[in-house]
Structure 1
Amino acid sequence: MTVPASGPERRLALIGLGAGEYAAIELDEHDEEQQRTLLPASELAGWVAEVEAADTPRWIIRSAAEIYALLLNAGVRITRSHDLVLCHAILRDTAMVNTPLPPAAGWERRDPVDTTPSLFDVLDEESGEDAITAALEQYRAQRNVMAEATDGRLTLLCAAESAGGLIAEEMRVAGLPWDAGVHDAILTETLGARPAAGGLPRRMVERGDEVRALLDDPTLHLDSQPKLLRALHRVGVSVESTSKWELSAHEHPVIEPLLAYKKLSRLLSANGWTWLSEWVQDGRFRPVYIPGGVVTGRWASAGGGALQLPRNLRPAVRADPGWALVVADVAQLEPRMLAAMASDEAMADAARGGDLYAGVVASGAVAT
C-alpha cells in the first residue's frame, strides 16, 4: 500500500464505490485526477490515518455524517475536509455570484438516521465509476462558484461549514457525559416515583385530579386539546389554545394547576424515563447534530432534543473523573457579526463591553 507524495494544498477525494470498496483520488491544481488508490473497507481507516499523519490533506467527502462517522468508529480523525453536501447547500442558494450551483437532488442533505452505517454499507446512490464522476463533477462545480467570489468569503464559509460537519460527528461519537442516576432522581423528585405499569407518575395524577375538580369534569382527558378547551370555556376561560402565554392572561383557579400539569407532562414526554433509556447509553448522551440544519444556518439536532435540554435536568451532565466542563455563552453573536460585516464602527464600539444592547443605549443611539 503506497501513500502518494505530499504537496501544497494537497486534496484527496474519498469516495464510496459500493460493494465495500473506496477510491481515494489525488487531485492536481486544476482539479484533475492525478492518482487513484482503490481500498477495500478493511483497509480504509488505516490508509486514511497514515495519510493524515503524513500530510493532513483536505479530504473531499460526500458528507461527514456518512464517511467521517465510519472513520471515527475506527479511531481515526481527520483535520480538514470539503463536505460536498454542506457546501452544496451554501453555494446553491448564494446571491454573491451570478451563477450559483443549480439544485441537484443527489447532493441534498439526507434525513439523519439513528444508527451509523458500517464500513461495508453503500454510502452513495451511485456506485463504481459513476460515483467518482458524480463526486468530482460536483466538486469542480463548487470550486468554480467559489472562485467567482473573488473576495474569498465563499471559500472561507465552505471551509468553516465543512469543519462544522467534522465537529458535529466528533461531538456525537464522544457524547455528552450523563449521569443516569442523577437524571432518574430529578424525575422522581419532580414527577413522583416511576409508575410500574406505565401509568402517570403521582404528581401528574394529583395535578390532573385538581384540574378536573376545578373544571367539574371528573373524566376529562387533559391531553385532548379540543376537550380541554371546551371544559375551559364552560367555566368562563375563553381561550383559543392551551398555550402558557394565553392561559396566563386569565384569572381563574384552574390556571395554576393546569400550567403545572402541562409542565410536568412536557418533562415526562420530552425527557422522561423513556428518553433516558433511549438516548443515554454507557454514561453518554449521543444525539445527532446537524450543521446548518435550519434556514438561518444554525445547527439543529435529530432526536433527543440536544439543543433544548431543560434547565432542571442539566445537573445530570457530569464531567468524567479528571475532566472539567466549561460553560460558554457566545452572547449576542449575530449582531456582533453583522456589525463587523457592515463595518459599523459605532455598533462595534458598543459591543466591546459585556452587553451589546446596553452599549447601544449608553451610546445615546436609542432612548431608554
Structure 2
Amino acid sequence: MSAIAFLAADPDGYALIDLRDQLTGNSLQPVSSVSREELAGFVAETEARHSPRWAMLRTTPWMQPLAAAGVFLAKAYILSLAQRILHRSPLSTKPLDDFNLEQPTQGREWANQDALFSAPVTGESLAELIAMYLAQRDALPQEPDARRRLELLIHAESVGAVIACEMEEAGLPWDEAGHRALLREQLGERVSDYGRPPKLAAKAQQLAEALGSPGLNPDSPQEMLRALHKAGFAVGSVRAWELEQIKHPLITEVLEYKKLSRLASTHGDAWLDQWVENGRFHPHYVLGTVISGRWAASGGGALQLPHSIRQVVRAPAGSTFVVADGRQLEPRILAAISHDQQLQKAGQQDDLYQWLLDAKLVASRDEAKLGMLSVIYGGGGGASGSVGAALTRSFPTAMRFVEQAAQAGEQGGGVRSFLGRGCPPADEQWLQAQRATSDEASQRAADSAARARGRFTRNFVVQATAAEWALVWMGHARHLIHQAGWSRSCRQVFFVHDEIVFECPTELAGQLQELIRHAAMLAGRSLFGQASPRFPVSVAISGNYADAK
C-alpha cells in the first residue's frame, strides 16, 4: 500500500497531517494536529511506519524545522511546483492556473473541481490542499507513458526542493578567515560599504590616467566604453568576453580591474557578513522560476562562485568534498531524446568526444566539443560551424530533432522537455511584432526575433531534459546514501546545473564516489529505460573545492 501525507497549516494551532491511501484516498488514521515542537518527531515516526509521499503547498515553513532536526523524507509532492509544471506542460490534459512562484507568500486561487467548497481555494488549508492535489491528478494524461513522464518530473522536482532545503540547512563549508585574508591581499583594508577598497581605488586611478580620462568611473559601463573609444579601442561593449578578444596590456588592466571590482561587490566583506555564519555559507535555492528547470538562487550568488573564491571553500578537518559532474551531458541527452542510433552509439562510450575524434569526424577534442555545442545551441560561424556541418551529416536524426524544435520556436510555437516541462508558445506581443512588418526595418527585427526564439527552443529541448536528468541523479544519490546509513555523515552541500558537491568523512569518499556513479546510471534508466546512453560522471575528491575543478 502506498500512502500520501498531506501537511497543511492548522488554523487553531501549527500543523495538520492527514495520512491517506494514495490509490483510494481513504484515510489511514484520523487527521492529527501537531504543534511546532511535535512536528519533527511526528513526521519521523510517520515516515518510519508508512514511508508516505509528503504533500505540501511549499517547502516553507515545513522543511526548515524538519531539515534542522535531521528528519529524512524519502518522497515528496510540492503542489506549487507541480502546478507550475502542469500549467505549462503540453502533456497536461486539463487547463490549470499558474502558481505565483515568484511571490510565494501570495496565494493564488484555484477552482475546486469537485465542488466540495462554495468558495475558490488557495491551497493553504488542508481541504484546499487536497482539492488542489485532486485537480492536478485529474490533469495528468491517461496515456501511460506520458503520465509516467509527468509524474516522474513532478516527483523529481519535489525531491529536488527537499534537497535544496537540506543544503540550505547544512551550508557549504567556508574558510571565513581565509576569505578575509584574500580580500585584504587583493583589495586592501576594509572600507565602508560605499567606498572602493584602497587597491581597487588605486587601480581605478591608474586606468583613468592610462586611458586619458580624468575622473573616470570604471564601474560605469557607459563611461568605460567612452574612455576605450577615446583611447582608440573600437569595442561594442565592455563585457569581459568581448574585451578578452583584444590582446593589449591596457585591456588586460581593464579586465583585472573588472575582476577585482566584481570580487569587492559580490563576495566582499559585506557579503561575508550577510551570508557566512559559523564557517558555513547558507544560500537559498529557488526552483520552478527558470523556464528550463534549472535552479536559481535568491541571494548570495550561490550559482556563480568565481574560481578565485572557490579556494576558500574548504572541508573541515576529517572531512572532504566529493565533487561530481556529468561528462558531455548535453550530447548524450540529445542522443537519447532524438533516438539517433549513431549518436547513441557514440554516447555508449566513456568519452563521446574521443569517439568523434577516432571516427575522424573532427580533428581535435576542442573541435568535437565546440561543434557539438554549435549544433545544440544553433551556432553556425567559424570553425565550429564547419565541424557542426560535418556532425549534421553524421547524425541526421539528432540534427532534425533540434531543427524541428528551432522551427517551432521561429513560428511562435512551444516545445517540451523529455519528461514534459513546457516552453510555452510566444506571447501576443511577439506574434503581433511578427505580423507588423510593413517596412524593411520591422521585417529585419521580426526575423531577428524569430531566429532568437528558434535558438532558444532548440536549446530548451536539450537543456531542460539535462536539468531533469540532474534532478533524478540527485534523487537517486540521496536515496542510495540513506540506504547506506550515511544520511547524517554524507551530505549534499552544493549544486549547480550538472555538478553536485558532497561533504563526507574522508574514509567514506571512495565508496561515495562509486555510489554517485551508480546513481548517474540509474538516472539514465529512470528517464530513458534500458536503451539509455551511458552517463559517466567525473568525480574528484578534495578538501578544497577549487582543487576539484
TM-score normalised according to structure 1 size: 0.84
Letter in 1 for 2:290: V
Partner of 1:237: 233
Q: Specify the SS of the correspondent of 1:325.
A: strand
- Alignment of 1:212 onto 2:208: yes
Structure with more of its chain in helix, by fraction = 2
Count, aligned residues:
350
Partner of residue 138 from structure 1, selected from 117, 132, 136:
132
Check whether the contact 1:96–1:149 (CA below 8 A) recurs between aligned residues.
Answer: no
Check whether the contact 2:336–2:344 (CA below 8 A) recurs between aligned residues.
Answer: yes
- Give the CA deviation at 1:271: 0.8
Cα offsets for 1:25-72 (capped at 9, x unmatched): 222323355642222333322211221122221111112243212322
Check whether the contact 1:18–1:124 (CA below 8 A) recurs between aligned residues.
Answer: no
Letter in 2 for 1:332: Q
Distance 2:18 2:2 in 1: 14
Partner of 2:80: 85
Distance 1:96 1:364 in 2: 40
- Alignment of 1:345 onto 2:354: no
Letter in 1 for 2:17: A
Partner of 2:14: 21
Identity of aligned residues (%): 38
Distance 2:90 2:214 in 1: 59
Check whether the contact 1:68–1:169 (CA below 8 A) recurs between aligned residues.
Answer: yes
- Give the CA deviation at 1:141: 1.8
Q: Specify the SS of the correspondent of 1:306.
A: coil
- Alignment of 1:108 onto 2:100: yes
- Give the CA deviation at 1:178: 0.6
The 1:70/1:19 distance shift into structure 2, 3 A limit, reads: farther
Check whether the contact 1:65–1:165 (CA below 8 A) recurs between aligned residues.
Answer: no
- Alignment of 1:291 onto 2:287: yes
Distance 2:107 2:44 in 1: 20
Unaligned runs of 5+ in 2: 110-119, 364-386, 388-549
Check whether the contact 1:191–1:204 (CA below 8 A) recurs between aligned residues.
Answer: yes
Partner of 1:256: 252
Letter in 1 for 2:79: L
Partner of 1:117: none
- The answer to which of 249-258 and 309-318 deviates more is 249-258
- Give the CA deviation at 1:198: 5.9
Partner of 1:119: none
- Alignment of 1:57 onto 2:52: yes
Partner of residue 62 from structure 2, selected from 64, 67, 75:
67
Check whether the contact 2:275–2:300 (CA below 8 A) recurs between aligned residues.
Answer: yes
- Give the CA deviation at 1:197: 8.4
Cα offsets for 1:144-164 (capped at 9, x unmatched): 233524111111121111111
- Alignment of 1:95 onto 2:90: yes
Distance 1:127 1:95 in 2: 24
Check whether the contact 2:101–2:289 (CA below 8 A) recurs between aligned residues.
Answer: no
- Give the CA deviation at 1:20: 3.4
Distance 1:181 1:146 in 2: 52
Q: Specify the SS of the correspondent of 1:254.
A: helix
- Alignment of 1:10 onto 2:6: no
Distance 1:245 1:197 in 2: 28
Partner of 2:300: 304
- Give the CA deviation at 1:196: 6.9
Partner of 1:270: 266
Q: Specify the SS of the correspondent of 2:330.
A: helix
The 1:234/1:96 distance shift into structure 2, 3 A limit, reads: same
The 1:267/1:233 distance shift into structure 2, 3 A limit, reads: same
The 1:143/1:338 distance shift into structure 2, 3 A limit, reads: farther
Distance 2:192 2:3 in 1: 60
- The answer to which of 256-265 and 194-203 deviates more is 194-203
The 1:130/1:207 distance shift into structure 2, 3 A limit, reads: closer
- Give the CA deviation at 1:124: 9.8
- Give the CA deviation at 1:325: 0.6
Unaligned runs of 5+ in 1: 1-7, 114-121
Check whether the contact 1:13–1:25 (CA below 8 A) recurs between aligned residues.
Answer: yes
Q: Specify the SS of the correspondent of 1:14.
A: strand
1:154-169 superposed matches below 5 A: 154-169=150-165
Cα offsets for 1:56-101 (capped at 9, x unmatched): 211111122432123223443322111111111222111224x244
- The answer to which of 189-198 and 85-94 deviates more is 189-198
The 1:213/1:15 distance shift into structure 2, 3 A limit, reads: same
TM-score normalised according to structure 2 size: 0.58
- Give the CA deviation at 1:19: 5.1
Q: Specify the SS of the correspondent of 1:327.
A: strand
- Give the CA deviation at 1:172: 0.6
Check whether the contact 2:217–2:224 (CA below 8 A) recurs between aligned residues.
Answer: yes
